[in-house]
């Protein structure tokens, strides 16, 4: 009997995964969230359960591969080349408060003429932008030229009243989830940098550079500055504020170990350390970052956990990551680098790791929290020698081993870091070799249950 065709195999994976999700919903007496309804914390609970999340990844990977297999290749490639329209449309909706306008309008939606009265745009052009987004399932067109929020567009909603956004546009993202801020960042400076990536990669000098001042962002904005200094220019005040909220929004709860002193290296305002400090009040924590970040960090801690700074159990320490650790950072029990190394090329990542190794004691541990890129082919044997690597979730055939479309955001993030400052995401072997070259031994890797998301790499001094 002939084997099922690739189309049939992919379709079968989708059906089987849908049945798994339906079974989980039936067992718990809940319905799977509707695309037509805005999201809420309760609606999303089912998606975050490991078995359901894994089934979703299979559906996304199989559906993406099914489309790529079935559709005319020329149409697929040309459509990819036109994705700028989706990114630009998303930026327009996010920047002009359309999700908030439609939230206040309710499920019946609002005509483009009424939307225009609230944000000042041309109503016909609003309709064209929203219809493009509704066609790819962001927003919904309930009647001709009448649009409403759906599950995807509601993610862009800051939750603030329109009047508040108009009165204080600079503070639009303050106190929000951070997701609209991230979308603003990626559809603005990241997108503009991305348009210069091909030009930079073809440049004889910049195309091989590891310098953070010779990246696509520098070309796009005609600046000689590294990205963080560029963001601190007066004309980028809104971008800097938005970026800070967006990075705070990426914070996730993670299990802290039973340690005495924690150095959160380049920890920003201390979002991750705040979680640790609340869960483990006996720990002494040092939040280390650039001197310019410390005032904002102080505001954050004073408003969220005011006794932490006054009691001395949390300290805000200005540092230069590429210089020696200050006295308080010597011999820490745990050093944390959360989404820091991906900002930098190997040249600069090695400098950071070398300075931490010089400060570490014999029992110090280093926790690196990053996305780990998988190959789009079989896992190499060398990776399997690393503790925890064997636990990697393997995608079922005929899916790509890295889950294809379901894992794509990590690869998009890799090119984002390349465009912004010649940074990069890394494979597990790349991490292992980088750590080894700077005096650290990778002892264990812990991947997320679904195989997609941030991983934890635990190292000790060699």
Spatial contact of 263 and 355, defined as CB atoms under 8 Å apart: no
Q: Alpha helix locations (H) across 202-341?
A: 216-221, 227-231, 237-249, 271-279, 294-304, 306-311
Spatial contact of 152 and 39, defined as CB atoms under 8 Å apart: no
Tell me the β-bridge partners of 197.
Answer: none
Query: What does the alpha-carbon distance between residue 366 and residue 332 come to, in Å, rounded to a whole number?
Result: 10
Give the DSSP H or E segment for 367.
strand 365-373
Q: Provide the annotated active-site residues.
A: 342
Q: Which two tokens stand for residue 18?
A: 């849908």
- Contacts made by residues 192-198, CB under 8 angstroms, sequence distance 24+: 192/217, 192/220, 192/221, 193/217, 193/219, 193/220, 193/221, 193/419, 193/420, 194/415, 194/416, 194/419, 195/84, 195/220, 196/220, 196/419, 197/415, 197/418, 197/419
Query: What does the alpha-carbon distance between residue 441 and residue 433 come to, in Å, rounded to a whole number?
Result: 9
Tell me the β-bridge partners of 286.
Answer: 263, 315
Query: What does the alpha-carbon distance between residue 52 and residue 50 come to, in Å, rounded to a whole number?
Result: 6
Q: Is 288 helix (H, G, I), strand (E, B) or coil?
A: strand
Spatial contact of 343 and 421, defined as CB atoms under 8 Å apart: yes
Sheet holding 110-111, edge to edge: 110-111, 146-148, 140-143
CA dihedral 186, 189, 194, 200 (to 10 degrees): -150
Neighbours of 263 (CB within 10 A): 31
Q: Which two tokens stand for residue 240?
A: 């800097």
Spatial contact of 244 and 292, defined as CB atoms under 8 Å apart: no
Q: Is 65 exposed, middle or buried (0-12, 13-18, 19+ CB in 10 A)?
A: buried
Which residues, other chains included, contact 215 with Cβ-Cβ below 8 Å and sequence gap of 6+?
A: 193, 200, 206, 209, 227, 418, 419, 420, 421, 422
């Amino acid at each position: 009997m002939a084997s099922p065709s690739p189309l049939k195999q992919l379709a079968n994976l989708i059906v089987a995964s849908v049945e798994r999700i339906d079974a989980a919903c039936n067992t718990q007496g809940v319905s799977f969230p509707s695309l037509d309804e805005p999201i809420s914390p309760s609606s999303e609970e089912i998606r975050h359960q490991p078995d359901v999340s894994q089934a979703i990844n299979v559906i996304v990977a199989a559906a993406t591969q099914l489309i790529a297999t079935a559709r005319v290749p020329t149409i697929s490639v040309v459509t990819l080349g036109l994705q700028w329209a989706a990114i630009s449309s998303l930026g327009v909706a996010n920047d002009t408060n359309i999700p908030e306008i439609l939230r206040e309008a309710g499920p019946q939606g609002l005509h483009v003429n009424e939307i225009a009265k609230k944000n000042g745009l041309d109503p016909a052009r609003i309709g064209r932008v929203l219809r493009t987004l509704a066609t790819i399932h962001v927003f919904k067109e309930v009647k001709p030229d009448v649009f409403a929020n759906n599950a995807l567009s509601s993610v862009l909603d800051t939750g603030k009243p329109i009047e508040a956004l108009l009165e204080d546009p600079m503070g639009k993202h303050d106190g929000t989830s951070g997701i609209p801020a991230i979308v603003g960042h990626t559809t603005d400076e990241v997108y503009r940098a991305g348009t210069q990536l091909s030009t930079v990669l073809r440049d004889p000098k910049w195309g091989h550079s590891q310098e953070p001042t010779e990246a696509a962002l520098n070309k796009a904005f005609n600046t000689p500055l590294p990205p963080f200094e560029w963001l601190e220019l007066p004309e980028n005040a809104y971008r800097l504020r938005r970026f800070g909220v967006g990075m705070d929004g990426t914070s996730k709860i993670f299990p802290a170990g039973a340690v005495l002193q924690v150095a959160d290296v380049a920890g920003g305002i201390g979002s991750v350390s705040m979680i640790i400090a609340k869960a483990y009040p006996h720990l002494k924590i040092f939040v280390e970052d650039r001197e310019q970040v410390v005032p904002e960090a102080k505001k954050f801690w004073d408003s969220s956990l005011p006794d932490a700074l006054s009691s001395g159990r949390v300290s805000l320490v200005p540092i230069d990551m590429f210089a020696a650790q200050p006295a308080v950072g010597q011999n820490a029990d745990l050093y944390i680098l959360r989404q820091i190394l991906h900002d930098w090329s190997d040249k600069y990542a090695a400098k950071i790791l070398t300075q931490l190794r010089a400060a570490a004691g014999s029992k110090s541990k280093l926790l690196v929290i990053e996305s780990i890129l998988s190959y789009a082919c079989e896992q190499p044997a060398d990776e399997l020698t690393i503790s925890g690597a064997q636990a990697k979730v393997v995608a079922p055939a005929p899916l790509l081993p890295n889950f294809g479309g379901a894992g794509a955001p990590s690869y998009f993030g890799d090119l984002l870091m390349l465009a912004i400052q010649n940074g990069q995401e890394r494979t597990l072997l790349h991490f292992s070799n980088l750590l080894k070259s700077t005096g650290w031994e990778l002892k264990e890797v812990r991947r997320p249950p679904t195989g997609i998301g941030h991983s934890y790499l635990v190292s000790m001094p060699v």
